[in-house]
Amino acid sequence: MRAFSRRGVALQTQLNKKETAILLTLVGELIELLNPLGPRADDPPFWEVDPVPTWRDDPALARLFPDAYSDDEDASSDFLRYTQADQAVAKCEAASTVAIDIDDADAGWVTVPPEHIEAWLKTLTNLRLVLAERLGDERDTDAVYFWCGWMLESMLSVL
């Protein structure tokens, strides 16, 4: 992978086939992790939803949706009840944008238009949060974890 560079108002990088496959897999897994948290057509109104999320046992999801009020369990549950579905949708939409940009690559060259930069930054950050939790202490030696961090740093350096 090449570092991100400016191409007019857009950003650009080049991914080889292996990097493309890894990044698309990670983004797909992030979407898969988040999809069940989004709203469904048959969901009851938010005021009828159990405020205690059942996914809090998953440390990766807990990192993606941190406790807003760590000293007030009721306020924290209310905050999650009112915002979690929208947050999950926004994270999925950002990840989908990244996947589309990668799929649209020309000979490995990925162009990130200005309106997609925020989606890339959010998705790379979310990937690092999930990887950090899934890897635990092994993240200190995991190449994919560091590669996601390098991509994020590379992107930030040209903004």
Helices (H) and strands (E) in the chain, counts: 5, 3
Q: How many CA atoms lie within 13 A of 140 on its CB side?
A: 2
Which CA distances in Å does 76 have to 30, 35, 64, 70, 79?
24, 21, 14, 7, 5
Note the pLDDT tens digit of each residue in 87-146: 999 999 999 999 999 999 999 999 999 999 999 999 999 999 999 999 998 888 899 999
Name the band, by pLDDT with cuts 50, 70 and 90, for residue 76.
Answer: confident
- Residues constituting the chain: 159
Residue 46: pLDDT over 70: no
What's the average model confidence in pLDDT over 3-27? 97
Two structure tokens written together for 80: 């999650």
The pLDDT of residue 50 is: 58
The pLDDT of residue 52 is: 52
Q: Is 119 exposed, middle or buried (0-12, 13-18, 19+ CB in 10 A)?
A: buried
Higher pLDDT, 26 or 85: 26
What's the average model confidence in pLDDT over 71-91? 88
Domain residue spans of the chain: 5-38+92-157
Residue 156: pLDDT over 90: yes
% of the chain residues with pLDDT over 70: 89
Q: What is the number of other CB atoms lying within 10 angstroms of the CB of residue 133?
A: 16
